[in-house]
Structure 1
Amino acid sequence: MILSHDDSGAGPAVLLLHSAVCDRRMWDAQWQALLDAGHRVVRCDFRGFGGTPLADGPYAAGADVLALLDHLGIESTAVVGASYGGRTALTVASLRPQAVTALALLGAGRPGHQPSEALRAFGAEEEALVEADDLDGAVELNVRTWLGPEADEETRAFVRRMQRHAFEVQWDATGGPEQEETDLARITAPTLAVAGAHDLPDYRAIAAELPGLLPNARHVRHLELPWAGHLPSLERPAEVTALLTDFLRESSAAR
């Protein structure tokens, strides 16, 4: 199965990978700006999100992304990933390092990361709400946890819609993602690792430690945004769009 996706523009490719709280619509604010900057822009929905149905058995998110790139005839691309999308971006860059020209990671997860007590507590509370058939409560928990203090009500409503849809698609899930082998030492792309100061400690720690874990990347930059929660591209869209376009331009010029 090919992931549901959008593909537009010409020039150097940029692939946008969404968080597990959202779907590919989370990149609406960045879409046109990246096209205007001269990129071919691709965004997709992981299985069980947006327009992509959930698998009825185990699947591999990184392999799904690589299959999409092959389907679209894209041999090399920059990859922007948020949260779960950032974790998957690291896997893609490990599996096929020659295909990834740059990595921009926003509040990224990391394969092999051991969750903190705070993250385990969130997972337990979400699971209890879902098992109690309280989807409204589970949605509000996610909105409250993952959006920073500057997110306005329109943004919160947007995330509610995306998260609610994901819960409904995955309600009777029998399939789930497999663990994929990810060797960070294989990653060669210049990397920007961004964290929000209001995010859970896990994601702040992952962004800070990545410069020491990507020994073959040409350059790794760590940045913490003092105003941001877990989803900065939704909280201050214009600022993050400028950050991404600047990073992609610098990475392209350095090649």
Structure 2
Amino acid sequence: MTLAHDVTGSGPTVVLLHSTVCDRRMWDPQLPTLVNAGYRVVRCDLRGFGQSPLPDRPYNDAQDVTDLMDLLGVEHAALVGASGGGQVALEIAARWPQRVTALVLLCTALSGHKPSAELRAFGQRENALIEAGDIAGATELNVAMWLGPDSDEATQDKVRQMQRHAFDVQLAAVEEVGPITVEADLAAITASSLLVSGRHDLVDFRQIAAQLSDQLADARHLELAWAGHLPSLECPDALNPLLIDFLHETRAAD
């Protein structure tokens, strides 16, 4: 199955990988900025999100994305990943380092991370709401958890729509199909990396960013005082210049 996707612009390719609270629509505020800066932008919906249907057999998100890159003739690209999409980007960069020119990881998740008590409590509350059939309540829980204090009503509504759609798609599954887990060696990553965290995010994601900034060969960590878990949506006017500056810098060094 080919992931639902869109391609806009021309120039070096940037692949955008969404948070698992969202889908590829989360990158609407970045798309015109990246195209105007001279990039070809590929956005895709991971399986069970947006317009990509649920899988009917075991799958691997990183393989799905590289298959899409092959289909589009993309030999190498910069990867920008948010939260769960950041975890996918890390796996791609570790398994196929020659294909990744740069990594931007926004409040990234990390395989094997042990969740904090706050994150576990969130998961338990979300599960309880879903089991009770209160999908609207579970959706509102996610909106409140993942957006920082400066997010406006339009942003909250956008996240609400994307999260509710993901719930509707995934809860309609007749049979649950699990992902294929691949142990990727992060020491194999050669791309320059920008790790962004938000001061209003859960401690988990701030710790992951700090850990990766020490672990990856060429990485820097930037914590945004205003941000929650989804800075690209919360304040794109502040996030976009950071993204473009880093991509230009790594593009010049490529």
Q: 1:208 & 1:104 partners in 2: Cα distance?
A: 14
Q: Deviations over 1:166-204 (max 9, x none)?
A: 000001331232322211000000000000000001100
The residue aligned with 1:200 is 202
Q: CA deviation at 1:45?
A: 0.1
* Amino acid corresponding to residue 120 of structure 1 in structure 2: R
- Equivalent residue for 2:245? 246
Q: Distance in 1 between matches of 2:171 and 2:118?
A: 24
Q: 1:211 corresponds to which letter in structure 2?
A: S
Supply the distance in 2 between the matched residues of 1:107 and 1:169 (Cα, whole angstroms).
25
Alignment check: 8 A CA contact 1:111 1:182 kept: no
Unaligned 5+ segments in structure 1 are: none
**Structure 2 unaligned spans of 5+:** none
Residue in 1 that maps onto 2:104:
104
Letter in structure 2 aligned against 1:186: A
RMSD: 0.9
Shift in Å, 1:119: 1.1
TM-score (norm 1): 0.97
- Among the aligned pairs, what percent are the same residue? 59
Alignment of structure 1 residues 154-193 onto 2, 5 Å: 154-173=154-173, 174-193=176-195
Aligned to 1:235: 234
Q: CA deviation at 1:211?
A: 1.9
- Equivalent residues of 1:84, 1:108 under 8 A apart: yes
Look up the equivalent residue of 2:40 and give its one-letter code.
R
Deviations 1:93-113 (A, max 9, x none): 011000000000000001121
| Alpha-carbon distance in 2 for matches of 1:245, 1:182 | 28
Q: Partners in 1 of 2:180 and 2:113 — Cα distance? A: 15
Residues paired across the two proteins, number:
252
After TM superposition, list the pairs within 5 Å mapping 1:10-25 onto structure 2.
10-25=10-25
Residue 79 (structure 2) aligns with: 79
Residues 178 and 115 (structure 1), Cα distance of their counterparts in 2 relative to 1, 3 Å cut: farther
**Partner SS state of residue 170, structure 1:** helix
- Residue 213 (structure 1) aligned to one of 208, 215, 231: 215
> 3-state SS of the aligned residue for 2:7?
strand
TM-score (normalised: structure 2): 0.97
1:42-121 equivalences under 5 Å are 42-121=42-121
Question: Structure 2 counterpart of 1:31, which letter?
Answer: L
**3-state DSSP class of the match of 1:151?**
coil
Which deviates the most, 111-120 or 67-76? 111-120
Q: Distance in 2 between matches of 1:206 and 1:181?
A: 17
Give the letter for the 2:245 counterpart: D
Q: Which moved more, 1:243-252 or 1:168-177?
A: 168-177
Q: Distance in 2 between matches of 1:25 and 1:158?
A: 9
Task: State the one-letter code of the partner of 2:232.
Answer: S
Distance in 2 of aligned mates of 1:155 and 1:97: 34
